[in-house]
Chains A and B, each alone.
Chain A
Amino acid sequence: MSGSALGPAAEQAIAWMVRLRSGRTDARQEARFQRWLAQDPANAQAWEQLQRGMGGHYEVARRAPQVLRDALLQPQLGRRDVLRGLGGLALFGGGLWMGVRSDSARMLTADLRTGTGERRTVTLADGSRLSLNAGTSLDVDFSAGQRLLRLYQGALVIEVAPDARRPLLVRSEQGDARALGTRFLVEQLQGATRVVVLEHSVRASVPDGAWLDLAEGQAALLRGPRVELCSDSQVYRADWLEGRLSVLDEPLQAVIEALRPYRPGLMRVDPEVRNLRVQGVFPLDDSERTLAALEDTMPIRVRRYGSWLTLIERR
């Protein structure tokens, strides 16, 4: 290819790599390569840079099963294809590949919504008690045949009023949680939905028909075509009802995600510290105190730019 932006040493390094990888190298060629390498420090430098670009990550990938590595071989999609949607069409973050709704406009016009730091409990027309975590939006759609809640964002706990003729369903992007006389939690996560049964039982299902009945204390994740039963009780996930965030060995990123709806402005955790493990109980309504507690006990530093940007990075 002509018009390459790379310098001559780089192009030569690449040409050597191409030759040496062919599987047909002989000793003479190897000797010529060594001469080229020694000829000029620029050559050695270019060779080193090329090696770096072919290093570390490939080592990791090489050890992985073939089928997983093949994830790299998907048809190309251009930047333009991705960004063409700018101007209204929600491209992803929710239902892109499943073709499901979830655009921000719908969230703004939802029947019930809570803002930053706001929790609310309401009584629905049928007498059910519905509690919303901060940053939650949903639509209420009651008809003669069923009681449907569409959760777009955030988390809810519902205490269902019995009505034998009209089942109550909470529908998220991934599937349904159907009350079997009960109190339960539904939380919209990224690409998944969490269902936790606080009393009695719930039938959790995904659109293609897979379902699972969950008993009191059990929890499941709806993800893709599956309903995955969680191995431990997750009743503590409803602790936001009391303004507490309980964390049992989770990555820092998950803690910050839980704090997000309680804090105005933008927050970001540096990828380097995202997976540090956290344990503890934190106050949701005082995010400053929670951040200070995390800073005290972990190797992190919290930087604030006014009240609109908070960065969490390695200390």
Chain B
Amino acid sequence: MSVSDTSKLSYFFSDHHRWLLHYVQRQLSHRPDAEDTAAETFCQIIAARVDPAAIEQPRAYLATIARRLIFDRYRRRRLEEAYLERLMLLPEALAQSPEQTHLLLEALHAIDSSLAGLPLVVKKAFLLSQLDGLGYAEISCKLGVSERTVGRYMTQALRQCYLSGAHP
């Protein structure tokens, strides 16, 4: 990145950072969270190598990116809370080290994002196959649907897996 690109971006950030932070804070009241999300929004602009001068409506543009990031954070938070609730139910012997928890949460988050938007029953069917290795006969029993329906659910979930496999 050239010096002039960097300084163009600096101007862009100094013009909009206050507005963006305020915008994000309306939804993420925890200030450090809001700051991190606002910074991440700018990071995406840097990564996309967009010329800030070419953005016609900078605030609408920033808001679109920020909303997506907020939603993603929201999903993650919800997942973490569900995880922690369940962690407390675990018997001592299965207790997870902080490192294990970190790795597992990362993995769960990636899976959660990859399957985002699918109906719950589709996720259930897919995870029973993918994580537990069950065949469709067993899955159809567990979920009370026909084997053909299980196949259809699998197709739906696998389409999203395919898309998330796009970037190695």
Is residue B61 contacting chain A, with contact meaning CB distance below 8 A?
no
A86 vs chain B, min Cβ distance (A): 6
Residue of A nearest to B22 (CB): A104
B135 engages A22 (CB within 8 Å): yes
B32 engages A257 (CB within 8 Å): yes
Alpha-carbon gap, A4 to B159, bound state (A): 9
Interface membership of chain B positions 22-57, coded 1 if the CB is closer than 8 angstroms to chain A and 0 otherwise: 000111111111111011101100100000000000
Task: List residues of chain A with CB within 8 A of the CB of B102.
Answer: 275
Alpha-carbon gap, A8 to B156, bound state (A): 15
Task: List residues of chain A with CB within 8 A of the CB of B151.
Answer: 18, 22
A57 engages B110 (CB within 8 Å): yes
A92 vs chain B, min Cβ distance (A): 6
Complex interface: stretch among A75-83, A140-148, A239-247? A75-83
Task: List residues of chain A with CB within 8 A of the CB of B163.
Answer: 6, 53
Interface membership of chain B positions 56-99, coded 1 if the CB is closer than 8 angstroms to chain A and 0 otherwise: 00000000000100110010011101111111011000101000
A23 engages B136 (CB within 8 Å): yes
Interface membership of chain A positions 86-97, coded 1 if the CB is closer than 8 angstroms to chain B and 0 otherwise: 111011111001
Task: List residues of chain A with CB within 8 A of the CB of B83.
Answer: 68, 71
Alpha-carbon gap, A107 to B38, bound state (A): 19
B111 engages A72 (CB within 8 Å): yes
A50 engages B165 (CB within 8 Å): yes
Is residue B146 contacting chain A, with contact meaning CB distance below 8 A?
no
A57 engages B35 (CB within 8 Å): no
B29 engages A73 (CB within 8 Å): no
B25 engages A71 (CB within 8 Å): no
Is residue A103 contacting chain B, with contact meaning CB distance below 8 A?
yes
Alpha-carbon gap, A87 to B23, bound state (A): 9
B168 engages A83 (CB within 8 Å): no
Q: Which among B31, B79, B106, B162 is the interface contact of A135 at CB below 8 angstroms?
A: B31
Q: Which among B85, B89, B162 is the interface contact of A13 at CB below 8 angstroms?
A: B162
> A68-B86, A85-B27, A305-B42 given as contacts; is B147 within 8 A of A76 (CB)?
no
Is residue B145 contacting chain A, with contact meaning CB distance below 8 A?
no
> A68-B83, A72-B123, A104-B26 given as contacts; is B6 within 8 A of A21 (CB)?
no
Residue of A nearest to B11 (CB): A306
Size class of the B contact interface (CB-based, 8 Å): 35 or more
B102 vs chain A, min Cβ distance (A): 7
Task: List residues of chain A with CB within 8 A of the CB of B40.
Answer: 268
Alpha-carbon gap, A69 to B121, bound state (A): 15
Complex interface: stretch among A32-40, A58-66, A203-211? A58-66
Task: List residues of chain A with CB within 8 A of the CB of B107.
Answer: 56-58, 60-61
Alpha-carbon gap, A53 to B30, bound state (A): 33
A61 engages B104 (CB within 8 Å): yes
> A58-B130, A86-B26, A305-B9 given as contacts; is B155 within 8 A of A50 (CB)?
no
Size class of the A contact interface (CB-based, 8 Å): 35 or more
Alpha-carbon gap, A311 to B42, bound state (A): 10
Task: List residues of chain A with CB within 8 A of the CB of B27.
Answer: 83, 85-86, 90-93
Interface membership of chain A positions 266-304, coded 1 if the CB is closer than 8 angstroms to chain B and 0 otherwise: 111000000100000000000000000000000000000
A67 engages B135 (CB within 8 Å): no
Interface membership of chain B positions 126-154, coded 1 if the CB is closer than 8 angstroms to chain A and 0 otherwise: 01011100111110000000010001001
A1 vs chain B, min Cβ distance (A): 7
Task: List residues of chain B with CB within 8 A of the CB of A61.
Answer: 104, 107-108, 111, 131
Is residue A74 contacting chain B, with contact meaning CB distance below 8 A?
yes
Task: List residues of chain B with CB within 8 A of the CB of A24.
Answer: 135-137
Alpha-carbon gap, A52 to B162, bound state (A): 8
Alpha-carbon gap, A190 to B32, bound state (A): 8
Alpha-carbon gap, A27 to B82, bound state (A): 42
22 of the cross-chain contacts (CB-CB < 8 Å) are A22-B151, A24-B137, A52-B165, A52-B168, A53-B164, A57-B106, A58-B131, A71-B83, A83-B70, A86-B26, A90-B26, A94-B29, A103-B29, A190-B30, A266-B39, A268-B43, A275-B102, A305-B42, A305-B46, A306-B11, A310-B39, A311-B39
State the B residues within 8 Å of A (CB). Answer: 6-7, 9-11, 13-14, 17, 21, 25-36, 38-40, 42-43, 46, 67, 70-71, 74, 77-79, 81-87, 89-90, 94, 96, 102-104, 106-108, 110-112, 114-115, 117-120, 123-124, 127, 129-131, 134-138, 147, 151, 154-156, 158-166, 168
Q: A68-B96, A190-B32, A266-B21 are in contact. List 5 more A-B contacts (CB 8 A).
A: A52-B168, A54-B130, A58-B131, A67-B90, A104-B29
